[in-house]
Amino acid sequence: MPKDHGIGASSKRREDVRFLTGTGNYTDDINVYGQAYVAFVRSDVAHGRIKSVDTAEAAAMPGVLRVFTGSDFEGVGSIPCGWQVTDRHGEPMKEPAHPVLAHGKVRHVGDPIAAVVAETLQEARDAAEAVMADIEELPAVVDMKAAVASSDTLVHDDIGTNLCYDWGFVEDNREAVDKAISEAAHVTTLELVNNRLVANPMEPRVAVGSYEAAGDMSTLYTTSQNPHVIRLLMGAFVLGIPEHKLRVVAPDVGGGFGTKIFHYAEEAFCTFAARALKRPVKWTSTRSEAFMSDAHGRDHVTKIELALDKDHNFTALRTETYANMGAYLSTFAPSVPTWLHGTLMAGNYKTPLIYVNVKAVFTNTVPVDAYRGAGRPEATFQLERVVDKAARELGVDPIELRRKNFITEFPYATPVAVEYDTGDYNATMDKLIEIADLANFETRRKESEGRGKLRGLGINSYIEACGIAPSNLVGQLGARAGLYESATVRVNATGSISVMTGSHSHGQGHETAFPQVVAEMLGIPEDMVEIVHGDTANTPMGMGTYGSRSLAVGGSAMVRATEKIINKAKKIAAHLLEASEADIELKDGAFSVAGTDKSVAWGDVTLAAYVPHNYPLEDIEPGLEETAFYDPSNFTYPSGAYCCEVEVDPDTGKVDVVAFAAADDFGNVVNPMIVEGQVHGGVAQGIGQALLENCAYDETGQLLSASYMDYAMPRADNVPMVTVDHSCQTPCTHNPLGVKGCGEAGAIGSPPAVINAVIDALQSGGHTHVTHIDMPATPNRVWAAMQG
C-alpha cells in the first residue's frame, strides 16, 4: 500500500495551483514602479575589433535615458569564473577577462556591445538600431582542433593561446594505461562528438535591477537557480556591492536545466544601470537573444579507447577530449569537462586503469557551461557507446559484457578518484530486462519488419555523481565556492513551520517534497509546513539547485535543522511534562514520556517556546528556530540501466523512438510522482540530444540554429510514454535521508541507449558497416550512413 503522506508518498504538488490558474510570479511578471527598459546591441559577427561605438544618434532618440558601452564599465569587475582547473603540468588554466559589455573586441555572435536604456521597450529597441558600432571583422575560430593549432587567430590576444587548459587525469596513470592498451587482447576505438545543445528552459532569462538611493540598496530580480550565488559573484566580484546592500530574488523560475546557474552580464548590467540612473531597469530576453546569450551545453569531441583481455575483462580506458569553452569562461565551465566528467569515466565498471585527457578550448562561440547532467552525459555517452561497439566487435551480448565488468562490491574506489558508496548494477539491469519486456523483443522486431521498418534495441548502464562535495575537497580541485546547503526551520508559535532553504525550485516541486520530510520527522500534517526560497533577504546563504543536489544536500540541511528543533522541543516538553529529557519521545505530533500516558501536543510545546511562562528560561532560550548548514562527505551515486527501442525508416533514415524504459536506483525516494516526472523529462531531453537537437555554427561563427525554426526541440509526438522504475534502492550511506538525486539521470542515461538502438537497427537491417552515427541522428545523417 503506497503511503499517502510523508516520505514516500506521491503528494500532489501545492505549487501547481498557482501555475494552473495563471497566478505564478515569474520574473517577467514583475514590474517595478518607474522602470525603464534595456535593449542590448549585440555583435552580428563572431570575432572583430571594436574600432568605435557611436552612440550619439541613439542617445538623442525619443525616450532614451542613456546608452552604455564597454567604456562605462572600466573599473568594474570582470564576470567571474567560479572554478579554476589546474592543468597536467601544474599550471592554472588560462582565465581571460569577461567584461559586462564588450571592450576592445567582440568574441561571439551575440556578444553585447552596447545597451540602450529607454522609457519604453519600443524606444529602447529603436534606439539600439541607431547605435553605430564600427567593427573590423577578424577571422573566427570555430573548430576546436583548428583553434588549438592556431597561433595567429586568438579569441583572447592577451593569453597568447586558444587552449584554456590541457588536463590529465589521473596523470600518474598515464604510462600504465598506455602500456595496458598496447598489450591488450582487443582494443575498441571510437571517435565521437557530443553535440552542442541549448538548454532552452521555456522561460527566457529576465533581469530587473532596482536601486533605493536613500538606503544605498540594490535589488535584482532574476531568473536564477541560485540567488545567493548570484549575489556573491555579482556583488563581490563585478560591482563591488556588499551582501547587506544587495538583495537577489529569483521568484518562480520557468525551468533552468543548468543554464540559469550562471552569473550573466545582463544581471550585472541591470543592477549597474539601475544605480547609475536611479531608475529600475528591466531586461527580458527574446528567444532569439537567448540562443546567442544563454550558456550552451556539451560540445565535446572525443576519442575513446577501451582495452579488453581475452576473457573480455576491461583492462584499461583512455580518452582524449576537446571541450569547447566558447568565447569566455562561464561560471562553472572549467569544471564540466574535468571534475564532472573525468571522475565518471569508470562508469559502472571495474576497469582498473583509466586516463582522461581534456583540452579545453576557446572559440568564437557562445560560452559553454553546465547543462542537465554536465559532464556526466558526456562521460556516459562515450563509455556506453564504446562498450556497445566492443560487444559488436567481439560478437558478445552487450548486456553480458556489461555484467561481466560491473562493479559488484561497495564501497568501491575507482581509479578516477571517487568512491561509490552503494549500488547494485545487476539489480537495475535485471529490472530493466523485466520492465522493457526484452524477452519479446524479436517478436516486436518482426512486427516492425512487416511494416517495412528496421527495429533496433539499445541498452546501457549509467552512473552519475550528484551533490558535488565535500567543500574542502572541491576547494582543492579548484572550486571557488563551498558546496554545502542551508536550511532554517522556523517553528511558529502555533506550531506551523516555515522552512527557509538555500535550494531553489524551478520545476522540481520543493514546495511539496520538502514539507513531506519535515512533516514526517515531526509527525505533523504536511500542510503545516511552508517552504520559503528564492530570496537572499529571507533565506540563509545557500548554494542553490543544480547537479541533482537539492534533496541530498538541501534536504539533509533541513533534516539537520529539524533534528535541532526536535532536540530543543524535547527539552521544552520535558519541562512541561516534568520528566527527564531522555524519556521524551516524539510520535505523531505529540511528545510523551516513555512508558507512561503523559503527553503534550506539538502545538503546546511550540506555544510555550514563544510564550515562555512555564518554561526553563535558565536552561534554554525562548523561541524555536534552528539553522543548519550541511556539507556532505561525498557525492551520491545514482545509477541505473536504460533501454530504447527505435524504428528506422530505411527509405528516409527517420528514427522513431517507439519504446523507452528506465530502471533507476535513486536510493530512497521522497515523492515517487515527482521522481518519475524528473525521469520522464530527463529522458525526453536525452532523446532530444540523440535525435533532434543541434546547436550549429558555420565556419565563420554564424549561429545557424538560432531559433526554434532550426533548433529542434522535442515535441509531444517525438517521444513515447516512458516506462520507469525506481524500486531498486541502495540508499546513500552518508546522508540522513539515504537519497541520491534524480534530476539529471534521464538526460545522462538516455542518449547512448538511443544511439545504440539506432546502430542495432541499421546493423540488423544489413547495414553492417555502420558502427557509429554522431548525435543528433537526424534523418539525413542516418540515411547518409546507410548509403555508406
**Positions in 259-288 near other proteins (CB under 8 A):** 286-288
Phi and psi at residue 103, in whole multiples of 5°?
Answer: -140, 125
Q: Which is nearer to other proteins, 24 or 612 (CB)?
A: 24
User: Nearest approach, Cβ of 335 to other proteins (angstroms)?
Assistant: 24
**Interface pick for other proteins out of 507, 544, 731, 751 (rule CB under 8 A):** 507
Residues 683-702 that bind other proteins (CB under 8 A): 683-685, 691-692, 694, 696
Alpha-carbon gap, residue 226 to 81, rounded angstroms: 15
Query: Contact between 746 and other proteins (CB under 8 A)?
Result: yes
Phi-psi map region of 588: left, alpha, beta (phi>0 left; psi -120 to 50 alpha): left
* Inter-residue contact 423 to 463 (CB < 8 Å): yes
Q: How far is the CB of 257 from other proteins (least distance, A)?
A: 7
Q: Between residue 299 and residue 338, which ones bind other proteins under the rule CB under 8 A? A: none
The minimum distance between CB 327 and other proteins, in angstroms, equals 21
603 is an interface residue for other proteins by CB under 8 A: no
Question: Please, what is the minimum distance in Å from the beta carbon of residue 368 to other proteins?
Answer: 19
Rounded CA-CA distance 747/661 in Å is 13
- Which of residues 126 and 520 has its CB atom nearest to other proteins in the complex? 126
Q: How are the residues of the chain apportioned to helix, strand and coil, as percentages rounded to the nearest 5? A: 30, 25, 45
| Chain centre distance of CA 756 | 24
For residue 285, give the nearest of 221, 330, 218, 223 by alpha carbon.
223
Q: Is residue 647 a contact residue for other proteins (CB under 8 A)?
A: no
Which range binds other proteins by CB under 8 A, 476-484, 623-631, 712-720, 733-741? 712-720
Site for other proteins in 375-434 (CB under 8 A): none
What is the pattern of x (binds other proteins, CB under 8 A) and - over residues 191-230? ---------xxxxx--------------------------
506 in Cβ contact with 539 (< 8 Å) = no
Q: Does 180 bind other proteins (CB under 8 A)?
A: no
Sole window of 399-407, 504-512, 577-585, 592-600 interacting with other proteins (rule: CB under 8 A)? 504-512
Task: Map residues 22-41 to x or -, x wherever contact with other proteins holds by CB under 8 A.
Answer: xxx-x-xx------------
Instruction: Indicate the residue among 136 and 699 with the shorter CB distance to other proteins.
Output: 699
Which is nearer to other proteins, 20 or 413 (by Cβ)? 20
Minimum distance of other proteins from residue 670's CB (angstroms): 14
- Identify which range of 120-128, 150-158, 186-194, 266-274 contacts other proteins by CB under 8 A: 120-128
Query: With binding defined as CB under 8 A, does residue 255 bind other proteins?
Result: yes
Residue 722 lies near other proteins (rule: CB under 8 A): yes
Q: Please give the single-letter amino acid code of residue 500.
A: M
Kindly tell me which residue out of 127, 131, 370, 719 binds other proteins, with binding defined by CB under 8 A.
719
768 contributes a contact to other proteins by CB under 8 A: no
Q: What does each C-alpha distance from 125 to 64, 108, 129 come to in angstroms?
A: 10, 21, 7
C-alpha cell at 95: 582565465
- Is residue 110 a contact residue for other proteins (CB under 8 A)? no
The CA-based diameter of the chain, rounded to the nearest angstrom, is 86
Q: How far is the CB of 218 from other proteins (least distance, A)?
A: 24
Give the SS3 label for residue 282.
strand
**122 near other proteins (CB under 8 A):** yes
Report residue 27 as a C-alpha cell: 520574473
- Select from 715, 766, 768, 769 the one that contacts other proteins (CB under 8 A): 715
Identify the CA nearest to 130 among candidates 57, 69, 60.
Answer: 57
Phi, psi of 128, rounded to the nearest 5 degrees: -60, -35
Instruction: Round to whole Å and give the CA distance between 334 and 332.
Output: 6
User: Closest separation between CB of residue 294 and other proteins, Å?
Assistant: 13
CB nearer other proteins, residue 188 or residue 223: 223
- Nearer residue to other proteins within complex by CB, 370 or 607: 370
Closest among 305, 297, 337 to 321, alpha carbons compared:
337
Residue 36 bridge partners (DSSP):
281
DSSP states of 320-385 as a string? EEEEEEESS--TTGGGTTTTTTGGGTTTTB--S-EEEEEEEEE-SS--B---TTTTHHHHHHHHHH
In this chain, which stretch among 172-180, 388-396, 474-482, 710-718 interacts with other proteins, using CB under 8 A?
710-718
Residue 625 binds other proteins, judged by CB under 8 A: no
Residues 125-144 that bind other proteins (CB under 8 A): 125-126, 129
Kindly state whether residue 471 participates in binding other proteins, applying the rule CB under 8 A.
no
Piece of the chain touching other proteins by CB under 8 A; list 68-76, 359-367, 620-628, 774-782: 774-782
**DSSP result, 76-118:** SPPPP-SB--B-TTSPBPP-----SS--SEE-STT-EEEEEEE
15 binds other proteins per the rule CB under 8 A: yes
Position 527 contacts other proteins (CB under 8 A): no
| Angle, helices 425-435/398-405, rounded to nearest 10 degrees | 160
Which among 659, 509, 738 has a CA at the least distance from the CA of 10?
Answer: 509
474 near other proteins, judged by CB under 8 A: no
Closest by Cα among 670, 667, 661, 613 to 641: 661
